[in-house]
Amino acid sequence: MNPGCKKRALVTGASGSLGRDISPRLWRAPECKLLAARRAEALKATVEEIQASGGEAVAVEMDVTDSTSTTLADY
């Protein structure tokens, strides 16, 4: 994640249908994009789609319903 980012956008469930639909739409926004989901492979595919369109995003595998998962997430 770019430490100079003044704004950040967090999309949870980014590997699911709604999150996967919203995430690529954000790639033109100036915010730093952080995409979070439990399914690493599907999340990686979403990030690759954004990158292929010229955007930037960071994938973080986590379960937002598990406080240990969110605390240990590398972001």
SS (H, E, C) the chain: CCCCCCCEEEEECCCCHHHHHHHHHCCCCCCEEEEEECCHHHHHHHHHHHHHCCCCCEEEECCCCCHHHHHHCCC
**Which pLDDT score is estimated for 30?**
62
Give 37's Cβ-side CA count (13 Å radius): 22
Look at residue 50 in the predicted model and tell me its pLDDT.
Answer: 81
Enter the CATH code of domain 8-65: 3.40.50.720
Q: What is the pLDDT of residue 11?
A: 82
Q: Model pTM?
A: 0.68
Ranges of residues in the chain whose predicted pLDDT is under 50: none
Domain ranges across the chain: 8-65
